[in-house]
Structure 1
Amino acid sequence: MAMIHERMNRGRTQMGWLDSFHTFSFGGFMDPTRMGFRNLRVINEDRVVPGAGFSAHRHEHMDILTYVLSGALSHQDSLGNSATIQAGEFQLMSAGNGVTHSEHNASQTEPVHFLQIWLIPERQIDHPTYDSILISNQDVDNRFGLVAGPDTTTNGLSLLSNTRVYLARLRDGQVLSHEFDPAHAGFLHVVSGHIDINGEGLATGDALEFEHRDGCTITAHSEAELLLFDLS
């Protein structure tokens, strides 16, 4: 079973300072066929104008993974964390029983472009946690490099679910495969570029969800950047 999430069918929020595309139902965008996939609940692609951003707001019992694609994003939270997340960097905030944070474009002259991903935990923690990781090209060049995984992993950021998040960057013509536990499911989001996956053509902003397969094979038809979710 496989389903394409076409980029043109994503929800969209435009607020002057914010232009946001929603792969799954979020905010004012509601589609009962797009309520998430397994424990993957949100993928928002956000662009924020210089100097603007999200004022302080609260989250509970959610793993929130942010990936900055270009520009820089400033983060502050009620844990006392204050950081500027640069392009190529992932931030993970596990909200626990509750955390308040704000996010703003760190630049007064350039926009910031980022993905924000919500993953539903499989176990709960009381105290929120915060971490970040910078992904180098050598870690993801024509391979799926681990970004985040179960808290038993020794690499990447620690999630509160049996989920693994991978990033890959491919050159035109490269072929890449990934094997799955048969009980797991996959969700591939095309950050940029044009690819084929298991015979399906996808482009920037498209995604493919699939179950009951033991793997996937991807062929790049341009330079491409991909996020792969291996979901239990």
Structure 2
Amino acid sequence: MMLKRPSDDRGFAEFGGWLKSYHTFSFSDYYDPRFMGFRDLRVINQDWIGKDSGFPAHPHKDMEIITYVLKGSVEHRDSLGNVGTIHAGEIQTMHAGTGVRHAEYNPSKTDDLQLFQIWIMPDTNGVAPGYTQQSFRREEKLNTMRLMVSKNGREDSQKIHQDVDLYASILEPGKTLEFKLRPERAVWVQLAEGELEINGEILKSGDGMAIQDESLLKMKANKETEFLFFDLH
């Protein structure tokens, strides 16, 4: 089964001229009973945040929250005392656990910020909240899939409280990858930009796809393509 989620079918919200957000799954005021998440993947929001703007402090609880910066940089502050700036290509993982408040802000006076914010439901509630940040160079993702997040932190990836492997890739035109699905696993692919062919199906910028009951995925970039790849139990 391969179910495409076209970019233009996503939910959309715009606030105050500083935020444009596309929702792959139901989120906030956007509700679609067909798209409440996929397995343990609950939220994929692709956000454009204007210069010198951002989200004020707000609470989260019992969720694994991942921020992947596509363009620009985001300034993070939270109630645990963490302060950091996450640049393009970097990832931030926050374990909301028993509760945490955080703020995200575009500190640039000249450039917009673009990012994916991802929520994954944890396998254990009530854990101690935590925060980590890591940089992944373009060369680590180029024409391969770089593991960024996993349950056990293997291959120098970020640990989360769920059996999900999250990869990032940048494929040059004409380059190919293959991925073998483990039994009873599923995949969600989310394009940032580009054009990717998966087993004959075409995904373009902003498109996503749910994949299960497939044994082998053959992927080819028709133009330079950046995408996220979730291997879900």
Gaps of 5+ in 2: none
CA contact (8 A) 2:89 2:138 kept: no
Asked whether the equivalents of residues 57 and 102 of structure 1 are also in contact (C-alpha less than 8 Å), the reply is yes
TM-score, normalized by length of structure 2? 0.97
SS at structure 1 position matched to 2:219: strand
Q: Distance in 2 between matches of 1:126 and 1:194?
A: 39
1:122 aligns with 2:119: no
Which consecutive segments of 4 or more residues in structure 1 shift more than 6 A?
none
Identity of aligned residues (%): 38
| Cα-Cα RMSD | 1.0
TM-score of the superposed pair, with normalisation by structure 1: 0.97
- Partner residue, 1:204: 205
Deviation at 1:125, TM superposition (A): 4.4
Listed one character per residue, the Cα deviations across residues 1-44 of structure 1 (whole Å, up to 9, x for unaligned) are 12100001000001111000000011111000010000000000
Q: Report what 1:75 is aligned to.
A: 76
Preserved contact between residue 147 and residue 155 of structure 2 (Cα < 8 Å): no
Aligned twin of 1:182: 183
> Which residue identity does 2:3 align to in structure 1?
M
On the 8 A contact 1:124/1:160 being kept in 2, the answer is no
1:12 aligns with: 12
After TM superposition, give the deviation of residue 152 of structure 1 in Å: 5.2
Segments of 5+ residues of structure 1 without an aligned counterpart are none
Aligned match of 2:196: 195
Give the Cα separation in 2 of the matches to 1:11 and 1:74: 25
Cross-structure match for 1:104: 105
Once residues 218 and 155 of structure 2 are traced to their aligned partners in structure 1, the CA distance between those partners, rounded to angstroms, is: 26
| Local SS of the residue matching 1:37 | coil
Counterpart position of 2:87: 86
1:41-84 per-residue CA deviation (whole Å, 9 max, x = no partner) reads: 00001011111110110000100000111111000000000001
Give the conservation status (yes or no) of the 8 Å contact 1:91–1:132: yes
Contact 1:22 1:44 in 2 (8 A): yes
